[in-house]
Structure 1
Amino acid sequence: MKGISYSRYGGPEVLEYGEVRDPKVGPDSVLVKVRAAAVNPVDWKCRAGYLDGALEAVFPVVPGWDVSGVVVQPGPAVSEFSVGDEVIGYVREDFLSRGTFAEYVAAPVRTLARKPRNLTWEEAAGLPLVGLTAYQVLTKALQVRRGETVLIHAAAGGVGSIAVQLARHLGVRAIGTASEANHDFVRSLGGEPVTYGDGLAERVRGLAPEGVDAAFDTIGGDTLRTSANLLAPEGRLVSIADGDVVDYGGRYVFVRPDAEDLTRLAELAQQGVVSVHVSETFPLERAADAHRRSEEGRTRGKITVTVDWPDETAE
């Protein structure tokens, strides 16, 4: 099958389009014909070797953890899905090798949910990782409650934009950092935007003089420090970007696959509670360009890649 792979760590130039090994379908997996896959910052961080201390790379590596597609073969122990089912997944294993940037992926059922019917393939592919991250941080790590105020960083990005929508749904006031150009977008999601940079703390205090009940850091460094200083007494702090959060009494979170959580997110998307903004889409063979765009760090919502299936009956 065709796919993207890299045989060594490096920049986007190490990504190659061509033949990759066909996936094997285990007892608890299904073979998914990929329609779209999303690009996440963790993808290029893995490609660059930044996560080598945590995730072993079995080269050649097919990148990508997010997917939307169609089940073409269930494993022998699978009863949850049948041929023809449209699914989404956060298909992460504990090592790097068998990703979603290919024509097919073997996905464990623990990583999958049914695709929301009202989302395009590209939108659906953009939901799993960022949606699960936002959902697990807000509902489990921060345990936000109705009437509270949460500070969400990079509120126009992939994780942040979903977090703002979920906060609104949960009855939580969301203050979101964003560039001036993205303020209207954050407002459209239900958030109250504040501008990055010098004076951020004062701007947030102008909206929440008593401090925020919870802070969701997606950037780290100075942003994490500022977030800690903006907490109300008994306020909670979580970072998905900086392990130093524990020094401020907070918690570091790495998203995990969870079929139940993903199903709940798919239901919220189906109900129109959560939407996915796709800023740009690339064909699979241009995955390197998609990585480059992601590394620029100025994406509104999601970047996706798509697989061209001229013959829709192809399996």
Structure 2
Amino acid sequence: MNYGADKVFDYRKTSPEELELFDIIFDTVGTEQDAFRKKLKPDGKLLTIAISVSKLISVALSTRHGQHRTRLVIAFPNRKNLTHLAQLVDNGDIVPVINSIYPMERIVEAHRHAENRGILGKIIITIP
């Protein structure tokens, strides 16, 4: 599944050094940001949803300076957007991928599971 991306690479099989140059890289892990920035075309952008505290200053500086800019993507949910998203799911336009479901009593186990890299889909916690 590529989820709408033109190209998708498995981080377990492809190192950043093997990649070509891209217009946009969407990083969901945050551990290879320096290597990914080197793989951007001249006006390329790195979008990330995961960033370490040590990288905050370089991201902040890259928003104003530098050829390869990094943007931290933050979403603020609101009723209108969540209602629209729910409708897309109800219509089958978006199919959520669920990795596993845990009851609240096993939340520690669920958290340990979430710390593993390579999880496809979301981990759900059921609350009675």
TM-score range, shorter chain: 0.7 to 0.9
Structure 2 partner of 1:217: 27
User: What are the residue-to-residue correspondences of 1:57-136 with 2, within 5 Å?
Assistant: none
Contact kept? 1:215, 1:236, Cα under 8 Å: yes
Structure with max Cα Rg: 1
TM-score normalised according to structure 2 size: 0.72
User: What are the residue-to-residue correspondences of 1:170-181 with 2, within 5 Å?
Assistant: 173-178=5-10
Partners of 2:94 and 2:81 lie apart in 1 by 14
Partner of 1:305, secondary structure, is strand
Partners of 1:227 and 1:273 lie apart in 2 by 31
Structure 1 gaps, min length 5: 1-160, 181-194, 206-210, 309-315
Structure 1 partner of 2:88: 268
1:168-213 deviation line (CA, Å, top 9, x unaligned): 2xxxx43223256xxxxxxxxxxxxxx343xx332x32xxxxx322
Partner of 1:215, secondary structure, is strand
Residue 291 of structure 1: how far off its partner (Å): 0.9
Partners of 1:266 and 1:257 lie apart in 2 by 12
Partners of 1:254 and 1:174 lie apart in 2 by 23
TM-score normalised according to structure 1 size: 0.33
Partner of 2:96, secondary structure, is coil
Please give the root-mean-square deviation of Cα atoms over the aligned residues, in Å: 2.4
Identity across aligned pairs (percent)? 28
Contact kept? 2:23, 2:45, Cα under 8 Å: yes
Structure 2 partner of 1:201: 17
Partners of 1:174 and 1:237 lie apart in 2 by 16
Structure 1 partner of 2:78: 258
Of structures 1 and 2, the one with the larger relative CO (CA 8 A, separation 6+) is 1
Cα separation, partners in 2 of 1:174 and 1:261, compared to 1, 3 Å: farther
Cα separation, partners in 2 of 1:259 and 1:201, compared to 1, 3 Å: farther
Is 1:277 matched with 2:109? Answer: no
Structure 2 gaps, min length 5: 63-67
Partners of 1:295 and 1:220 lie apart in 2 by 14
Structure ranking higher in strand proportion: 1
